[in-house]
Structure formats: C-alpha cells, structure tokens
Amino acid sequence: MLFAIPSVCIARVFNYLKAYEQLGLSEAKRQAYDSVDHKFNDAIPSEKSINKDNFFVELAPVFERNARWSTRQPVPSLGKVDSSRTDVEAFYNFWFDFSSWREFSYLDEEDKERGEDRYERRELEKINKAERERRRKEEAKRIRRLVELAYSKDPRIAKFKKEDQEERERKEKEAAKKAAAAQRRRFKKLAEAADHWSETAAQKLAEMERVERLCISLSVDEMASLCDVIEKAISREDILEAISKAEASKRNGTAKVDSKGGEKIKEVEKSTTWTSDEIQLLVKASNTYPAGTVDRWVIIAEYINEHRKDKSTPPKNEKQVIRQCKAVQSMNVKLPATTQNQLGASLPDEDTWTITEQKLLEQAIKTYPASDAERWDKISTAVGTKSKKACIRRFKYLVQMVKSKKEEGS
C-alpha cells in the first residue's frame, strides 16, 4: 500500500536541499549569504557623538563587529589610551588598507538562469555585476568613514601630532640657533683677522664693542649679508661703511614697526622699569667688565639679575642693559671717579694696555701663584704702570676672552 507524502514535507525537504547547496557545498555561496546577515549592525556613530571621554567605549565595539569582514586575520584592536605609538600606527595602517571579503551577489535582483538565451543571460549578469560593484563601493566608503572618524577623534593621535609639532619647532629653533652662532663666529673671525679694522688700541676697543652689539641685534640673514660684504670689500673704509649701514638699517627697521606691534613693544618697555639698586649694579658691572669684554652685555645682565635685591620683576636682558646704559649716559649722571663716565664708550687710560704691559702682566701671573695673599700687589708692582684694580680687571677680561673662544670652538 502506498502512502501519500504531505506537500508540506516535500517543500521542507526541497528547502533543506537548497540550503545545503547554498551553505554547505560552495564556499563562495556561503560568503555571499553571510555578507548580507540581517542581524549585522552596519551603523557608524556620528561625529558629534564621539569625544575624548567616550572614544574607546563607543568605537571599540564597532571595530570589533567589522573585523569579521577582513581577509587578513587576526585584526588589531583599537587598544587603550596608553597604547604605544607603534601599536596605534599599526592599527590605523591596517584599517586604512582594509581588505574585505564581503560581497553582495546574494542580493541579485535578476536571476540570469531565467534568461531565454545566452545573450539575455549575459545582459542579466551585467546588471547584477553593476549592482554588486555599487554595493561594494558603498561598503568600502562605510569602512573608510569609520576609520577617518576614529583617526580624527583619537586622543592618542592628537597627542602624537602635538609631540611631532613640538619636536619640529625644537629642531627649527636649534637649527636657527646654530645658524646664528655660526654667523656670529664668522663675523668675529673676520673682525679678529683684520684686528677689528682699527689703527689704535682705543679704536680697537670701540670696534670690539660694536661687533658685540651687532651680534646681539642683527638677524641671521642680516649678519650673513654683512659678512658677505666684508669678505668682498677692498678697503677698511668700505668695511666700516658697511657696518655703519647695518647699524643704521637696524635702527630704522626698529623704528618702522607697525602700529599694533609698536604699541605692544611700548607697553613692554614701560613695564620694564629700573630701580636705583639695579642702576647701581649696572654702573658697578660696567666698571668691572669694561668695553672690549667678550659678550659684555650678556655678562652685565647676568650680574644684575643675580645681585639685585628685588627679584619679583622680570630679569633684565642684554638689549635692556644697552638701552639703560645709553639713558644713563644721556642724563649726564656724575658717576664715581672709579667708574666710566660714558658707559660703553672710551675707557680710562688705566684700562688701555700696551703690548709691553700685557707681557709683563702675563709673566707676573705665572710668577706669583693664586695662593699668595699679596699676589695682586706684587703683580701690580711687576707691571709698574698699572694699579692693583686695573690688573685684576685685565685678568678677568682675559679669562672671559679665553672662555668665549673655547665655547665658539666647541
């Protein structure tokens, strides 16, 4: 006796067979089916909803969900706030070059097998391929938006960019500093090689101070241009004229500051006042470190900042010291007899040394050791024409020159 099989059971068997063909026999068909998983969440958080506080909480699960589509496994995780730079860069390199196996043939709207002939089936396949490519591009854009969103909001990336910017600025400042030092050394060597373009000791001291002043005030480019002119100059007069032009150009350039910048500079200058204590220290330091001392204004500024009583105001710099010296000079302040009446100008005869006096001083310094309590009295007697204080000042000046040359050489 034959039993009739219910139609429901027959339909179910055919469904099982079709499902097996789709999921069990063909890897390509299985991927096509998995690619359109209706339970998968394609959503990406909005840019406004992400900030540095919820960055990892909101985006880590999104990357974990989408990692399933990667052709390369394992997929690096988003990490933590303290992840190393190497790990963070590896994560973004991976996701910016993301390779997905996701494809959308399962969503084909046209069944090419229904075509009546080869031509019609080919046309239906062409329509399906165009639609698959459109969906593939949309998927690639979706992943790209996710990665770009994360990169723009990642607090670690912001930190790395800030560090890179600071490092670039540090290197630029270091390079500018080295370039400025190189041009200053070049200028000083040109001056020393020509004996500071001077014919007398007094002229030499004045030119030495002018060289130091230009080293402070001129920019790298201005200093380089001046050195180029000096190297090409034929006569001493041409060189001195070029130096005078550089000084005048710097003064004019400072005077032609735009209104806003000029107002700011004036405000700063007004806020930088000098106390009577600082002026006394300025006078004393100018006497201790006379014209001709290498880096004279820097040394005087450091002396004032170290010995002043009131340290609540901003420290003085070399430019402020030079300006104040000119101000004291213009007021015709009567300074003590032991002090230069014109700061930064000519020196008293006691500080002008001949070659013979210099040699006697050097020999006496070698003869009388530092342990001798009456050393400087004996040195003054050995020189014959200079006082004890003049010998000490000259010794300090020579020591400072040696130190400066060593620093320039290094």
3-state secondary structure of 100: strand
Q: Which of 367, 357, 341 is nearest to 394 (CA)?
A: 357
Element housing 50 (H / E): none
Give the pLDDT of residue 108. Answer: 67
Q: Which residues of 58-91 are buried (b: 16+ CB within 10 A; e: fewer)?
A: bbeebbeebbebbeeeebbebbeeebeeeebeeb
Residue owning tokens 């840019």: 47
Give the pLDDT of residue 265. Answer: 44
Give how far the C-alpha of residue 363 lies from the chain's centroid of Cα atoms, to the nearest Å: 49
Structure tokens at 5: 């099989």
> First and final CA of the chain: distance in angstroms?
113
HSE value, Cβ hemisphere, 13 Å, CA-based, for 333: 18
Give the pLDDT of residue 22. Answer: 59
Compute the distance between CA of residue 387 and CA of residue 358 in angstroms, rounded to an integer. Answer: 13
Give the pLDDT of residue 89. Answer: 95
pLDDT digits (tens, 9 = 90+) for 323-338: 888 766 654 444 444 4
Give the pLDDT of residue 357. Answer: 83
Integer CA distances (angstroms), 227 to 196, 203, 214, 233, 246, in order: 13, 20, 12, 10, 11
Compute the distance between CA of residue 296 and CA of residue 291 in angstroms, rounded to an integer. Answer: 7
Q: In residues, how long is the chain?
A: 410
Its pTM stands at: 0.52
Residues facing 100 on adjacent strands = 70
Residues with Cβ within 8 Å of 58's Cβ and at least 6 positions away in sequence, in order, are 45, 49, 50
Mean pLDDT per 10-residue section of the chain, whose length is 410 residues: 56 67 66 78 93 94 94 94 95 95 75 64 80 90 96 95 95 92 90 85 79 85 90 86 84 51 46 72 82 80 85 84 73 42 44 80 86 87 86 83 66
Contact 373, 270 (CB under 8 A): no
| Cβ count near 193 (within 10 Å) | 8
Give the pLDDT of residue 287. Answer: 79
Give how far the C-alpha of residue 237 lies from the chain's centroid of Cα atoms, to the nearest Å: 41
